[in-house]
A and B are shown apart, each in its own frame.
Chain A
Amino acid sequence: MAITVEIPSPLREATGGQTAVVVTGTTVAAALADLIRQHPLLESKLFHEGRLRPYINVFVNDEDIRYLEEMQTPVSDGATIALVPAVAGG
């Protein structure tokens, strides 16, 4: 189950400059857990007290997970997960 997580530029310090990280998992929660296992510095940036921070949006194949099954959204082989800062627009 190869899933690609795209890393936005402000987070690349925590991934050693990598722009994308290949992870495994069948849900967004599992995929992000694997991401943090590979790059532990990302944990405090993405999560606060075990919950995803409110100003980061997660997309699976360009669909916002809040309109799917949130962290339990299934991901299949070849899926792309994008982490996108939320404070834009208006």
Chain B
Amino acid sequence: MSTFVSGMVCRVCGKRYPVSPINFCTDDFGPLEVDYHYEAIQKVFRRESLERRPWTMWRYRELLPLEGEPTVGFEVGGTPLIRAERLAEALGVRRLWIKNDAVNFPTLSFKDRVVAVALSKAREFGMTTVGCASTGNLANSVAAQSAAAGMESFILVPADLERTKILGTAVYGAKVIGLKGTYDEVNRVCTQIALKYGWGFVNVNLRPFYAEGSKTMGFEIAEELGWRFPHHVVCPMAGGALIGKIYKAFSELHRLGLVTQPLTTRMYGAQASGCNPISECVKSGRERHKPVRKPNTICKSLAIGDPADGYFAARLIRQTGGWAEDVCDEEIVEGMLLLARTEGIFAETAGGVTVAVAKKLIEQGRIPRDEEIVLCITGNGLKTQDAVFDAVEAPAVIAPTLAAFEEYAGLRTPTREAAPAVV
């Protein structure tokens, strides 16, 4: 496969750069984004040819920033878009879908998408060792996919991360380093390491390529809806990149003619109240977010106090006519339970944030009840079980007899005479 990438472009000043492991403009430090030869893509990227390809994220490979074929994460993506009728009823809306990346492969979060691109790109750059700064899901995915690819990984996380997320990283043989600080401090150290030693950090100097992987969640939503755009998308925000990439995916599908309907989707961002720089920015009308120094929420996967894409996420939300909200820890747990008990989907805390924020926005009248809504569920509840441990009723413990069960279940106690009369 030949590349359709035309280069990289600064999102602030528009200066162009050749493809290389660099994430910011050397003139103004603005973020770099991958740009494509859309005219060339248009000639080969059609619904008919696409629909014959395997149902993975790579069916959209012309719009991903690799030179050749992917070499890492062949099976990633292709997660279900579920018509959520019971949750819709609970929320009082008519048409609701869940994009369920809680069952992404291999590590049960949307981060598998970005890592598959980042590691394939790292290999193209000749890197054999990769790293990341992570709140957990990214750590899991970098560790698993680099192990499968035979690459070494070193992963920096806040030391107070959930045990399951640290275990789910170290088990793959990754070098895990817990830093006694916030995610933003971890992130800054990674930036300094990347700059000083030139190592490949998936979300630092490989970030422009990495972030493009998130678009595949948007491509899939549109295709699963029958090549249409929903009216409203609710998306959790940590660094703020995913919400922008889902919208970029919609824009690209429209530009290439795969979806002909005008793009009028409104984008809504969801955060935890204990770390809400972007939703606060939207709600207060501020142009740029105010960083949160010490995030305090059970939703650690969204606990980024100084989101790199905060400005762009807030701007996109405003431009599309969407909104942003945040919810407290109790609401997050309620959101997790509501999703589990209506749709049988156990999402991590970020999923609780998304469901609870959607509920809030619907109640506020920000999202109309009779239009199409997609909720993005980005991670699996098995990774954040501690969050719901106290909210879930402990199982009953009884003697191993039928009588004990009948007593527990309040069933009528059978008489001895009820035993079979005929032998």
Size bracket, chain B contacts: 35 or more
Q: Chain B residues near A54 (CB, 8 Å)?
A: 288, 311
CB pair B29–A53 under 8 Å, yes or no, is: yes
CB pair A89–B239 under 8 Å, yes or no, is: yes
Segment 48-90 of A: residues with Cβ below 8 Å from B? 48, 53-57, 59, 62, 64, 66-67, 82, 84-90
Segment 21-61 of A: residues with Cβ below 8 Å from B? 44-45, 48, 53-57, 59
Given known A-B contacts A10-B24, A48-B28, A53-B28, A88 and B204 have beta carbons under 8 A apart: yes
CB pair A84–B24 under 8 Å, yes or no, is: no
B133 in complex: contacting residue of A62, A86, A88, CB < 8 Å: A88
Is B26 interfacial (CB 8 A cutoff)?
yes
CA distance A9 to B203 in the complex (A): 18
Interface centre among B29, B133, B190, B201 (most CB of A within 10 A): B29
CB pair A87–B24 under 8 Å, yes or no, is: yes
CB pair A56–B29 under 8 Å, yes or no, is: yes
CB pair A88–B291 under 8 Å, yes or no, is: no
A89 in complex: contacting residue of B27, B293, B308, B311, CB < 8 Å: B308
Given known A-B contacts A9-B195, A64-B291, A66-B291, A90 and B26 have beta carbons under 8 A apart: no
Given known A-B contacts A85-B24, A90-B241, A55 and B187 have beta carbons under 8 A apart: no
Q: In the complex, what residue of chain A is closest to B138 when comparing beta carbons?
A: A90
Q: Chain A residues near B183 (CB, 8 Å)?
A: 89
Q: Chain A residues near B211 (CB, 8 Å)?
A: 90
Size bracket, chain A contacts: 20 to 34
Interface string of B201-235 (1 = CB under 8 A from A): 10110010001000000000000000000000000
Given known A-B contacts A54-B288, A90-B304, A84 and B31 have beta carbons under 8 A apart: no
Interface string of B156-199 (1 = CB under 8 A from A): 00000000000000000000000000011101101110111000
Q: In the complex, what residue of chain B is closest to A89 when comparing beta carbons?
A: B187
Given known A-B contacts A87-B29, A88-B207, A57 and B188 have beta carbons under 8 A apart: yes
Nearest CB of chain B from residue A80's CB, rounded to whole Å:
12
Is B306 interfacial (CB 8 A cutoff)?
yes
Is A8 interfacial (CB 8 A cutoff)?
yes
Interface centre among B31, B188, B308, B309 (most CB of A within 10 A): B188
CB pair A90–B28 under 8 Å, yes or no, is: no
CB pair B23–A85 under 8 Å, yes or no, is: yes
Is B200 interfacial (CB 8 A cutoff)?
no
Interface string of A1-21 (1 = CB under 8 A from B): 000000011110100000000
The 3 closest A-B pairs by CB, nearest first: A90-B239, A55-B29, A89-B187
Using CB atoms and an 8 Å cutoff, list the residues of chain B in contact with chain A: 12, 22-24, 26-31, 133, 183-185, 187-188, 190-192, 194-196, 201, 203-204, 207, 211, 238-241, 288, 291, 293, 304, 306-309, 311
Using CB atoms and an 8 Å cutoff, list the residues of chain A in contact with chain B: 8-11, 13, 44-45, 48, 53-57, 59, 62, 64, 66-67, 82, 84-90
